[in-house]
Amino acid sequence: MADEPIIKKILLVEDDEAHVELISCAFENFGEGRSVIINASTVGEAAGMIKSQNFDIAISDYKLPDGGGGRPGHKARGARPQAPCVSGKQHKIGF
């Protein structure tokens, strides 16, 4: 009997559609279908989702239209303290 895959529910707080697609594809390709990505594009939208759903991890852009700076992660931490939160930002590199 094969083990059932563990499904991880991921809250992705990102307002750039290209980044949402890239991150979603990475989890789809390397996670072997073991994750579900739910996207919120603002801190406010993420806060509403955190109140109504459980997430295994929150991944957040550091700069969002209505704030950022780790705020989605702090809200997730309050709703589910044991869930990990990751916050980061994109750097443009010029040569």
Cα 95 to its chain centre, rounded Å, is 30
Q: Choose the weakest-confidence range: 16-20, 28-32, 34-38.
A: 28-32
**Does 8-88 carry CATH code 3.30.420.10?**
no
The pLDDT assigned to 94 comes to 56
Q: Tell me the domain boundaries of the chain.
A: 8-88
The pLDDT assigned to 17 comes to 94
**Averaged pLDDT for residues 83-90:** 74
Say yes or no to pLDDT of 21 above 90. yes
> What integer best gives the mean pLDDT of the chain?
78
C-alpha angle with apex 76: 89 to 54, nearest 5 degrees?
Answer: 120
